[in-house]
């Protein structure tokens, strides 16, 4: 796949047009009624039956590998096809989120270059779990960043991720605090927004799709879970159905190995170069 300057501009123009069309926008209003709850987790995998019996709509699940040092306990990453099929059988839905690093190893710290590593893996793991196209992948900004960090690192990271997802047939979701969501919206980035409270000063952004209200305070089947309120009928959810067969695509590392999903590190590196020329 080749993306040149004209192709990049066309893609980003198309994204802006889609973003402006109400038929593609999640019907979210954080000042309105709560539609239900979903959970997220990484330390294990509660059963689908338990999630259903607890009254949740489903879960936001990681389409990312365990980061170094967490292999022994972060056994709920990544989501699997068996898990999403169990969800489907119990009337539950899945949404996808990508987060590999954290704190000093946060994925966004490498700016646009980070997307060359992370976007192909997000897409490949989403597909491996049965995730269909035309659905968002939430990209995690699990921090309380400064404006400087946003402009110099997070913005280009989300821009490159956005183009990668669009090229492969997916949408960008943003997981972040009030400010990150506000800044991303101003930049035309994201169609779905999952807000966390760190640095949000008690505010809920009116474009919030999902609001993470409680972290590490609850358990289900002995697994620590986070609780989230849902404000949109469409919160990025999907079921595996017959979207993919059982073949698991190759998961790329830091090489330029393709994913079989229409996007690879070479493509992202082209995006990085184009972003650089556009900002110069």
Q: What's the CATH code of the domain at 31?
A: 3.20.20.80
Percent of the chain with pLDDT over 70: 75
DSSP, res 232: B
Domain-located, residue 16: no
Asked if the structure places residue 2 within a domain, the reply is no
Higher pLDDT, 1 or 151: 151
**Which of 248 and 201 is assigned the larger pLDDT?**
201
- Number of domains observed in the structure of the chain: 1
For 46-79, write each residue's pLDDT tens digit: 999 999 999 999 999 999 999 998 988 999 999 9
Q: How far is CA 50 from CA 40, 57, 59, 105, 156, in A?
A: 14, 12, 12, 33, 40
What predicted TM-score, i.e. pTM, was given to this entire model? 0.82
- 36-40 and 223-230 beta bridge pairing: antiparallel
d(CA 74, CA 60): 15
| 70 found inside a domain | yes
User: What residue numbers bound the domain in which 167 lies?
Assistant: 27-279
Residue 72 confidence (pLDDT): 87
Q: What is the mean pLDDT of residues 212-238?
A: 96
């Amino acid at each position: 796949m080749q993306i040149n300057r004209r192709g990049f501009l066309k893609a980003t123009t198309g994204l802006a047009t889609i973003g402006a069309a109400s038929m593609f926008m999640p019907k979210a209003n954080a000042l309105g009624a709560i539609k239900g709850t979903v959970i997220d987790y990484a330390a294990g995998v509660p059963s689908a039956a338990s999630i259903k019996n607890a009254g949740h709509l489903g879960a936001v699940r990681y389409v990312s590998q365990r980061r170094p040092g967490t292999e022994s306990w972060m056994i709920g990453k990544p989501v699997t096809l068996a898990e999403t099929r169990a969800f489907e059988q119990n009337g539950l839905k899945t949404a996808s989120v990508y987060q590999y690093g954290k704190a000093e190893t946060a994925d966004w710290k490498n700016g646009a270059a980070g997307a060359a590593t992370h976007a192909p893996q997000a897409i490949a793991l989403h597909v491996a779990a049965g995730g269909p196209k035309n659905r968002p992948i939430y990209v995690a900004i699990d921090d309380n960043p400064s404006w400087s960090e946003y402009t110099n690192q997070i913005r280009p990271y989300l821009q490159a991720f956005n183009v990668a997802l669009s090229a492969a047939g997916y949408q960008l979701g943003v997981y972040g605090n009030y400010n990150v969501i506000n800044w991303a919206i101003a930049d035309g980035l994201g169609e779905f927004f999952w807000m966390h409270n760190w640095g949000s000063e008690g505010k809920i952004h009116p474009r919030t799709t999902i609001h993470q209200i409680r972290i590490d305070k609850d358990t289900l089947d002995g697994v620590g879970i986070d609780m989230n309120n849902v404000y949109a009928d469409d919160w990025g959810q999907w079921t595996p159905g017959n979207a993919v067969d059982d073949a698991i695509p190759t998961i790329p590392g830091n090489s330029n190995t393709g994913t079989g999903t229409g996007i690879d590190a070479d493509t992202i590196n082209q995006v990085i170069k184009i972003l650089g020329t556009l900002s110069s």
